[in-house]
């Protein structure tokens, strides 16, 4: 089976969320499975689908940043010194069978980080959920999240679109000045990794774990057009971002 691997790129919040939605639409309508890794042009707040827009105003550091509402649930994220991924899979076999993709992808990430020198330093949350704060996602440890030295470094969320699955998540590479309570791998493990290094390691491990063939590909013109439309009309709009 073939999984399309799109090139690493950075974009603003509206474009990134539009790209993720485009992938799950393609997974549903054309049964194309895709994986992409990306970054953010500037530090950006993303709100979970069900969060009120006003939640970011509780912290002056967050209130000063641009924000976007995700199509997935969960708490507030500040995307800065991180690697973000999006996996979009068609419904049914061989893409969605048996175990949930949340723990599967997190095992892939753990193994990839081990290959980069972090063997034994990253593990999933096994205990009951813990909340160290009410706003930031990475202050809330839930089953399956990945921790290093007791701190959350990977969290993911999902959305279904006509049974196709979109799962996206963030890996903290280093601490952001906008979220000083959240250390990344650089602070916790003393290792500096680039987004491209980590993306390549995850892609390699995913291919090993699934036996799927990862084929590097570019966005089609039709996909680029859809991303532009969604970014302008949905994810860049006040109606979407302040809907709650």
User: Would you give per-residue pLDDT tens digits along the chain (244 residues)?
Assistant: 899 999 999 999 999 999 999 999 999 999 999 999 999 999 999 999 999 999 999 999 999 999 999 999 999 999 999 999 999 999 999 999 888 999 999 999 999 999 999 999 999 998 776 766 667 899 989 888 999 999 999 999 999 999 999 999 999 999 999 999 999 999 999 999 999 999 999 999 999 999 999 999 999 999 999 999 999 999 999 999 998 8
pLDDT of residue 127: 74
Which position has the token pair 């063939």?
Answer: 213
Is residue 225 reached through a cis peptide bond, with omega within 30 degrees of 0 on the bond before it? no
Residue whose tokens read 């009120």: 52
pLDDT at 98: 83
Give pLDDT, residue 162.
93
The reported pLDDT for the residue numbered 4 is 98
35-52 in b/e form (b: 16+ CB < 10 A) is: bbbbbbeebbbbbbeebe
User: What would the 3-class secondary structure string for 70-97 be?
Assistant: CCCCCCEEEECCEEEEEEEECCCCCCCC
The verdict on pTM exceeding 0.85 is yes
Q: Strand 77-79 and strand 9-11: pairing?
A: unpaired
pLDDT tens for residues 95-144? 998 889 999 999 999 999 999 999 999 999 987 767 666 678 999 898 88
Q: What angle do CA 118, 195, 48 make, to 5 degrees?
A: 100
């Amino acid at each position: 089976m073939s999984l399309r691997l799109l090139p690493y790129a950075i974009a603003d919040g509206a474009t990134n969320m539009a790209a993720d939605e485009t992938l799950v639409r393609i997974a549903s309508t054309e049964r194309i499975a895709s994986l992409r890794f990306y970054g953010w042009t500037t530090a950006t707040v993303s709100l979970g689908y069900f969060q009120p827009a006003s939640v970011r105003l509780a912290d002056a550091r967050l209130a000063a940043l641009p924000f976007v509402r995700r199509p997935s649930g969960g708490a507030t994220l500040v995307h800065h010194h991180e690697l973000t991924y999006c996996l979009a899979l068609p419904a049914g076999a061989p893409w969605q069978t048996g175990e949930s993709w949340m723990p599967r992808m997190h095992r892939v990430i753990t193994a990839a980080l081990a290959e980069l020198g972090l063997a034994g330093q990253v593990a999933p949350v096994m205990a009951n959920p813990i909340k160290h704060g009410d706003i930031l996602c990475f202050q809330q440890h839930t089953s399956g999240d990945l921790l290093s030295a007791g701190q959350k470094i990977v969290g993911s969320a999902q959305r279904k679109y006509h049974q196709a699955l979109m799962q996206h998540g963030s890996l903290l590479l280093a601490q952001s000045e906008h979220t000083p309570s959240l250390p990344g791998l650089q602070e916790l493990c003393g290792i500096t990794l680039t987004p491209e290094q980590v993306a390549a390691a995850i892609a390699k491990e995913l291919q090993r774990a699934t036996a799927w063939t990862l084929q590097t590909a570019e966005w089609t013109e039709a996909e680029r057009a859809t991303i532009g439309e969604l970014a302008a009309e949905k994810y860049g709009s006040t109606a979407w971002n302040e809907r709650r």
